[in-house]
Amino acid sequence: MQEVTVLIIIKMYSMKRTIDSYNDFNLRGKVVVITGASSGVGRAAAVEFAGHRAMLVLAARRIDALNDLVTECEQSGAKAIAIQTDVTDAHAVIQLAAAANDFGGRIDVWINNAGVMAAGGFTDTPVEVHDQVIKINLMGYIHGAHAVMPYFKKQRSGILINNISIGGFFPTPYAVGYAASKFGLRGFSEALKGELHAWPDIYVCDLYPAFLDTPGIQHAANYTGKILKPAPPVYDPKKVGRAMVRIALHPRKSLTVGGVAYLLRLGYFLVPGLMRFVTAKVMETYFSQAEPTPATSGNVFAPLDFGTNVHGGWSMTPQVKKKSINTGLLLGGLAASFLLIRQWRKTR
C-alpha cells in the first residue's frame, strides 16, 4: 500500500512538472497587453507574465514608471515595450493595439486594468469627477475591448481579461461614481460574452478581487475631508497578478480573488439592504474618527508622480499571522452586521 501511495505521489509530481512546463511553453512569446501597468495590480501582473517569458506591451499615463518596469521585465528574460496611453482616448487605445500587433505579430492576451477611485459624498464630489471616473473605469475598458476585438476575430482567438473588483457586485457608499463604473463593467462584459458565442476561442474573463494593498488609495480623489485607508483585510496584489496568469493559461468566465470578496458577494446577494446600511455606517464611523485632510482630485484627471510600486504599504502584519487576523475581522464584521439588523429594519 505504501508503495502504491509513493507511486501515485511521484506520478502526480511528474504530471505537475509536465503541466508547468506546458504552461511555460504556452506563455513564452505570447503578446500580452496590460493597461494601468505603472503600479499596483498592473505592475504585479507584468512581473508575473515576465517570469513566463511573455512579450509585454505595458500601457499607462506615466511613461517614466513604465520604462522602469520594462527594464525590470527584461531582467527576467522577457521582451517588453512601454506605450504611454490614456484609456479615455479611444484613438490612443486603437494605436496601442496597433503597436502591440506590430511588436509581436498578433495579440494573445489583453488585460483591462487601468482604474481610479473617488471617495466622498455624492453631491460633495464634483460631477466632473464622477464623469472622469466612469470614463476611465468603464469607457477605458470598452475602448480596450473595442480596439483589440478585431485582432482577436482575425486570429479567431484571444483572451480579454477585465479586472473589475468585488465592487462589481458590492456597491460602496461614498464612492458612487466608482460603484456605477464597476456595476457597468459587469454588464458590459456579460453582454459582450453573449455576442461572442460564435467565437469559441475568444474568451472574456472577469476578475473580482477583494481589497488590495496597492497605491490606489493614495492616488484616489478624496472629498470626504478625511485621510483614506483601505478596509482590512487587504490582499497582496501579486495574488491577482498570479490569477491573471492562471486565466491566461486556462481561461474561465470569472474568478473571485480573496475570501472577503466571496463573503461580500454572498452577503449582498442575500441581504442587500442590510449590507448597504452596515457599510455606510462603518464608513461614517471611520470618517468621524479619521484625521482631516484637504479635498483633492487625486489622479483622476492627471497622473501623480508618486506611488509606482506594486504595494501601497497597508499590509503591516507578518504573512504568517494574516490569515488568523483576517478570520477574526470577518467574524467580528458578521457579528456586528447581525447586531445592527434591528436598527436597519427601523430605517426601511
Identify the pLDDT of residue 260.
94
* Owner of C-alpha cell 504611454: 84
Confidence category of residue 343, pLDDT binned at 50, 70, 90: low
Q: What is the pLDDT of residues 57-81, one digit of tens each?
A: 999 999 999 999 999 999 999 999 9
Q: CA-CA distance, 163 to 167, in Å (whole number)?
A: 11
Which residue did the predictor score with more confidence, 214 or 3? 214
For residue 284, the SS3 value is helix
Identify the pLDDT of residue 317.
45
For all residues of the chain together, what is the average pLDDT?
88
Q: Peptide bond preceding 233: is omega within 30 degrees of 0, i.e. cis?
A: yes
178 included as an active-site residue = yes
Of 225, 262, 34, 205, residue with least CA distance to 125: 225
Average pLDDT estimate for 198-224: 97
C-alpha cell at 86: 490614456
Question: Are residues 209 and 194 in contact, defined by beta-carbon separation less than 8 angstroms?
Answer: no
Q: CA-CA distance, 99 to 164, in Å (whole number)?
A: 25
Measure CA 346 to chain center. 37
Question: Are residues 65 and 78 in contact, defined by beta-carbon separation less than 8 angstroms?
Answer: no
C-alpha cell at 165: 473588483
The torsion angles phi and psi of 277, rounded to 5 degrees, stand at -65, -45
Average pLDDT estimate for 323-331: 43
116-139: b (≥16 Cβ within 10 Å) or e: bbbbbeeeebbeebbebbbbbbbb
From the list 141, 178, 203, 268, the catalytic residue is 178
Does pLDDT of 186 surpass 60?
A: yes
Q: CA-CA distance, 300 to 226, in Å (whole number)?
A: 18
Q: Which of 18-22, 107-111, 333-337 bottoms out in mean pLDDT, i.e. has the lowest?
A: 18-22
Q: CA-CA distance, 300 to 88, in Å (whole number)?
A: 11
Identify the pLDDT of residue 10.
34
Question: Are residues 162 and 207 in contact, defined by beta-carbon separation less than 8 angstroms?
Answer: yes
Q: Work out the number of other CB atoms within 10 angstroms of the CB of residue 40.
A: 27
Show the domains of the chain with their CATH numbers: 2-347 (3.40.50.720)
Does pLDDT of 267 surpass 60?
A: yes
Question: Are residues 279 and 260 in contact, defined by beta-carbon separation less than 8 angstroms?
Answer: no
Which residue did the predictor score with more confidence, 40 or 231? 40
Question: Are residues 322 and 233 in contact, defined by beta-carbon separation less than 8 angstroms?
Answer: yes
Identify the pLDDT of residue 348.
57
Q: CA-CA distance, 297 to 295, in Å (whole number)?
A: 7
Of 71, 34, 61, residue with least CA distance to 49: 34
Q: What is the pTM of this model?
A: 0.86
